[in-house]
Amino acid sequence: MSYIYKIGGPALEDHALFAPLADEIRRCDTDILLVHGGGRRIERMLQRLGIESRFIDGRRETSKEAMEVVEMVLSGLVNKQLVAGLCRFGVPALGVSGRDGNLIRTRIEPGLGRVGTPVSIETALVDALWSRALVPVVSPVSSGPDGDSVNVNADEAALGLARAVSARALVYLSDVDGVRAGDDFLERLTPDDAQRLIEEGTITGGMALKVRVALEAVEAGINEVVIAGKARLLRGFPGTLVCAGAQ
């Protein structure tokens, strides 16, 4: 059964981490698929172009003008740099977006412009790449109901793909090494703990969305759901294991 990785933060931006990321992928003796974000690169480009953007509950409000930038940055620059980095270190990666082969189709989220949530996944493209021992690297830019491009949260895109291919594991690699409670990272996180920490304001913003998506993955039957960061790639803290309940 397959492993799905969502790549963001240092693992995406620090090219010195491409080698340990490639090592991590090679250690998984199964089919691998990567979904990447790239929010910081998008933000810098939007600012450079003078296009206003804001976040609402962890999602970027995306106008039609901003959507052109999102697609250019994610499906162009970020996707191809990640693919090239993995290929350099021996991983046979190939870059696609959620629009290719109708991979991810979405519904529009009200009030956020060109922002979508996955509603259907067509796995034929992924299956074809896996049959050739290739590693798909997926930009989350996907197709809306009208066929035009929409901005999809990469965490949610990774979950949709993981469910569609019945993945064994879903690993979120971001700019934090796990879910933090106070000064410490949690080794495990249950739904009850997650709800309490969100209500207390300990888990907020993008991390709250990430935790909610991770809990959805656990409920969908994915055996191993991990929120991790740079330390995992450097053989340090492996990340927070999100659990169905007390274990």
User: How many residues make up the chain in this entry?
Assistant: 247
Q: Is the pLDDT of residue 246 over 80?
A: no
pLDDT score recorded for residue 7: 96
Under DSSP, the state recorded for 247 is -
- Minimal CA–CA distance to 121: which of 244, 243, 4, 41? 4
Q: How far apart are CA 15 and CA 19, in angstroms?
A: 8
Q: Which domains does the chain have, with CATH numbers?
A: 3-242 (3.40.1160.10)
The residue ranking higher by pLDDT, 138 or 218, is 138
Longest C-alpha distance within the chain, in Å?
Answer: 49
- Percent over 70 (pLDDT), the chain: 99
- Minimal CA–CA distance to 17: which of 176, 230, 177, 174? 230
Q: What is the pTM of this model?
A: 0.92
Q: How far apart are CA 179 and CA 187, in angstroms?
A: 8
Give the CA distances from residue 82 to residues 86, 103, 204, 231, 247, in Å, rounded to whole numbers and listed in that order. Answer: 6, 19, 28, 19, 36
pLDDT in tens, 60-101: 899 999 999 999 999 999 999 999 999 999 999 999 999 999
H or E stretch covering 104: strand 104-108
Which position has the token pair 């993981």?
162
Q: Is the pLDDT of residue 230 over 60?
A: yes
Q: Is 63 helix (H, G, I), strand (E, B) or coil?
A: coil
* Least confident piece of the model among 20-29, 43-52, 206-215: 206-215
pLDDT score recorded for residue 209: 81
Using pLDDT thresholds of 50, 70 and 90, give the confidence band for residue 245: low
- Percent over 90 (pLDDT), the chain: 74
Over the chain, what is the mean pLDDT? 93
Q: How far apart are CA 152 and CA 246, in angstroms?
A: 32
Residue type at 215 in one-letter notation: L
Cα of 166 vs its chain's centroid, Å: 17
pLDDT in tens, 153-177: 998 999 999 999 999 999 999 888 9
**Pair 137, 83: CB distance under 8 Å:** yes
CB atoms within 10 A of CB 108: 16
